[in-house]
């Protein structure tokens, strides 16, 4: 998942994927959406 772009740039993304805001329940759709978004970013 890390492509040598620096920890400083990756940690916020990983935390965004892990930390689910109260307005977004941890549903399968939410996880799939975030996973797809991260895949497009990388």
pLDDT by residue (tens digit) across 10-21? 566 666 666 656
Q: Given pLDDT bands bounded at 50, 70 and 90, which one contains residue 9? A: low
Q: Residues 13, 38: contact at Cβ < 8 Å?
A: yes
Q: Residues 35, 1: contact at Cβ < 8 Å?
A: no
Q: Is the pTM of this model over 0.75?
A: no
pLDDT at 23: 61
How far is the C-alpha of 30 from the C-alpha of 4, rounded, in Å? Answer: 27
pLDDT at 13: 64
pLDDT at 14: 64
Exposed, middle or buried, 13 (CB in 10 Å: 0-12/13-18/19+)?
Answer: middle
Q: Residues 20, 30: contact at Cβ < 8 Å?
A: yes
Q: Residues 38, 32: contact at Cβ < 8 Å?
A: no
pLDDT by residue (tens digit) across 16-41? 666 656 565 656 666 776 677 666 65
């Amino acid at each position: 998942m890390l492509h040598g772009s620096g920890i400083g740039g990756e940690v916020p993304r990983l935390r965004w994927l892990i930390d689910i805001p109260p307005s977004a329940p941890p549903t399968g759709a939410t996880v799939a959406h975030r996973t797809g978004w991260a895949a497009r970013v990388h």
